[in-house]
Structure 1
Amino acid sequence: MSRATSTRIRPPGPRPVKRPLSFRLKRVASAWQLYVLLTPALIYIAVFKYWPMYGVQIAFRNYNPVDGFLGSPWVGLANFQRFVSSFQFERVLENTVWLAVLGLLIAFPVPIVLALLVNQLQARRFKKLTQTVLYSPAFISTVVVVGMMFVLLSPRSGLVNNALQLFGGQPVFFMGSADWFRPVYVVSDIWQHAGFSMVVYLAALTGIDPALHDAAKVDGANKFQRIRHIDIPGIMPVITVLFILAIGNLLNVGFEKALLMQTNLNTQTSEIVQTYVYHAGLQQAQFSYSAAIGLFNSLLNLALLVTFNWVARRATKTSLW
């Protein structure tokens, strides 16, 4: 092989110049105000996100508060093996996956549909009123929402059961039935959060060039065709990024709502990883065991996030990194 053919061909254009350290420090000093504004966020992330990782080691120890993190005996993967081999592992993991997948498949598209519909409203005041009505439930506390559910779904005095009896049906004990836990959870979650999530897609729709719609109108496209060929492709990068984030948070099902909705009659389907960690860690003081379960759940979420980010980067050229 000749020297000419073995030499690597450099791309056209000027070579990148490696700046000296003094030059880079001067650039940082010239924008010191921006770094001062960034400092509180960095401190927050370091203190509340990275420093707590020091305590993850109790998942690999038989933690005793008297001996501390480093003084407690090291047990390796014993806590993980205990969780995987326990009789509750399959039920807890199955309940978590079912609730997460149902929420993703049913609840995730709803804000997109709402944003596309609200964006088509022409009356400005009615459009603002619709947005306010849709995202107002997001400001209601989860405790209040669950309390409303118990009142509305009561088998004796609930509005829903009264309506069922009015049409000849039988009252249903929604909050005490294992079969109804998942539908009630998903529907209430859509009612509470879909409107707030809709705002992100409405903001993305405002960034679409109006000239595209004008040109489509000239070509005779109706509203459905413009939504299909202009609006949806225009917000597809935002949909992809939010879907990846939802996948990365898939197994972190809402702990507060699941715990508040949980009763002795519906634990067969309402016992998820988060509530199981709460019962084992705080109520039974099994700190190492509950930490191992939480770490196991976080590792699964991380694996899902990395996998779907890679798939999205290959398929749509849009990803988190």
Structure 2
Amino acid sequence: MRNKIPCSADRLGLLDPQMIQGVSEPSAFQIGHQYLTENRVRIVEADDAQISSAVIGNSGLYEQTIRLKDGHLISKCSCTLPEEPMCRHSIAVLLEYHRWAHPRQSRKPPESREAKPQPTTQTHPAGNAQASTTEASPPDVKLSEVMQFVEWLQPAMKAIEKGAPIPEAPKLHPGEVATWIQTIRNLEDRRRESEEVQVNLEADMRDREAYVGRLTQQLQASIAEAKAAQAASQDLQREVAMYKGMLAKVGELAGEVARYDTQIKAVAGDLLGKGAQLDKLAQSFKEVAEALKSAAKPHDSR
């Protein structure tokens, strides 16, 4: 599906979620935002003029190409959804690119501060009392919290190796150690999301391989049918050639029959001519016989 809409922004990074939502269908924007939160978007290559990406949809993997050219936003997706002016997959890609181009600054948790000690007076060996006010710097890491972190880290690493859920973290005050634990949990969540995406991609790959296998079988069957049809065509060509030879012989026989017919007609004409001559000769014989009879009668009367 390909769409083209006017766009006043000169860079894709300037398209914020409000602008995208303003030109999208509500249902398409909601589903696209859901794809974003479920980490289904993979940006392959991107800059402020063009984005190449892939989104794991509900029915498979879809590829997108989004460009900003001549004051128009051109989106192209391999899906066939009728959503206008952009499909849910292109919306998810634009939201992901905005998040990628404008990362939020993470807020640091407030650090715990120890109570400031009161100024103390130290006595030097010379016996002169000199008052010095010292302010202890608050430590960022407590040894007790580090020990709890180490105790929690060992079963957490074993759980990560086995693919099991991470055990419940110890309750600590906001600080560096709590940040370490949260970082590990975030990494584990991302790893699980990546594994889910990988499983989905592998399933989609298996489906595509099965589809290619079916197409290959159909192609092989079509090739076999084409070969059989070619063999049948060759047999028909041989039969046609044989019939042509037979027709040629029949034509030759017909020519000979015509010649014989002409000869027979000529012989018949000759026979008819000779028959006429024989008739004339017989008539002549009759006349001679009658003449002889006539000549013999007067002689007999004497």
The reply to whether TM is greater than 0.5 is: no
- The structure with higher relative contact order (CA 8 Å, sep 6+) is 1
The interval holding the TM-score normalised by the smaller chain is under 0.3
Q: Normalized per residue, which structure has more helix?
A: 1
TM-score relative to the length of structure 1: 0.19
Bigger fraction of residues in strand? 2
Rg: which structure is higher?
2
